[in-house]
Structure 1
Amino acid sequence: MENRENKHIIFFDGDCGVCNFWVQWILQRDKKNQFMFASLQSDFGQKFLGERKLDQKQFNTLYLWKVGSYYLIKSKAIIKVLNLLGGVYKAGGFLGQIIPTAISDQLYNVISKNRMKISNQKCFLPTSEERKKFIEV
């Protein structure tokens, strides 16, 4: 496992195909090695949720956390990830910032509510190099 200092940690539903697709997508594009990942179901994920008095049984929200700086949820987290990836993805982040959060979070909620239906439920098996980016896999 990599050192968590100065990393952006993405918390996701480890049982969700859409979430796992998103994790794979970020892994493939994280050329600056700036992200780490933890499932919300893991001890680390549960601790994160508990410390912030967030629901520890619902896993339908993506969180992005920078230790000592911030944590973002839903569409704001996705927009920040796109901006951090940079390049052409930053354009997507810019477009996301134009849309009011209430609207982008509403779209996020629709996808989240139907995520099990739209995912193909294939198991994701990270490579040994990618495993270093996971906290408590």
Structure 2
Amino acid sequence: MIVVFDAQCLLCSGWVRFLLKHDRRGVFRFASIQGPTGRALLHEAGLPVDNLQTLLLVDGARSWQQTAAILRVLHGLGWPWRAAWLGWLVPAPLRDAAYRLVARNRYRLFGRSETCLVPPAQCERRFLD
């Protein structure tokens, strides 16, 4: 599974660092929207490359966005993160509205880096660009 993320967003980069720490089985790989692979995956999913305000999870021909992507990623981490599936009990319009609110304000709330996330040496193979 591939997580497409904004490597300049400090919240997004923090999410990737969290996944690197907790994905003990190495299920997830990563592509930044700033790289060619991430841009191609966004294009395939019909998403804009510029001003993207969602996390994209790609698994073969299927893809998920916003809270569906987050909940699927947490499920993929195994226990105790799998318990986040309780989030599916919250209606998608409510979950995704909260997600979009944070996504629109992520740079203001969490900051932005002018340089992209540099993966730790032991994790480089999990980054596609």
TM-score by length of 2: 0.91
Q: 2:66 is aligned with what amino acid?
A: K
Take 2:88 and 2:46, find their aligned partners in 1: how far apart are those partners?
27
CA deviation after TM superposition for structure 1 residue 66, in Å: 0.6
Question: What is the DSSP-based 3-state SS (H/G/I as helix, E as strand, rest coil) of the residue aligned with 1:72?
Answer: strand
Instruction: Number of aligned residue pairs: give it.
Output: 127
1:106 matched residue in structure 2: 97
Identity over the aligned pairs, expressed in percent? 29
Q: CA RMSD in A?
A: 1.5
Residue 56 of structure 2 is aligned to residue 95 of structure 1:
no
Structure 2 portions without partners, runs of 5+: none
The aligned runs of 1:44-59 (5 Å cut-off) are 44-59=37-52
Take 2:65 and 2:111, find their aligned partners in 1: how far apart are those partners?
24
The aligned runs of 1:53-132 (5 Å cut-off) are 53-68=46-61, 70-92=62-84, 94-121=85-112, 124-132=117-125
TM-score by length of 1: 0.86
Q: 1:36 to 1:50 in 2, by over 3 A?
A: same
Would the aligned equivalents of 1:37 and 1:134 in 2 still touch at CA under 8 Å?
yes
Structure 1 portions without partners, runs of 5+: 1-7
Alignment deviations for residues 50-89 of structure 1 (CA, whole Å, 9 cap, x no partner): 2233212122210000113x10000000000111111010
Would the aligned equivalents of 1:12 and 1:59 in 2 still touch at CA under 8 Å?
no
Take 2:88 and 2:72, find their aligned partners in 1: how far apart are those partners?
9
Alignment counterpart, residue 34 of structure 1, candidates 27, 45, 56? 27
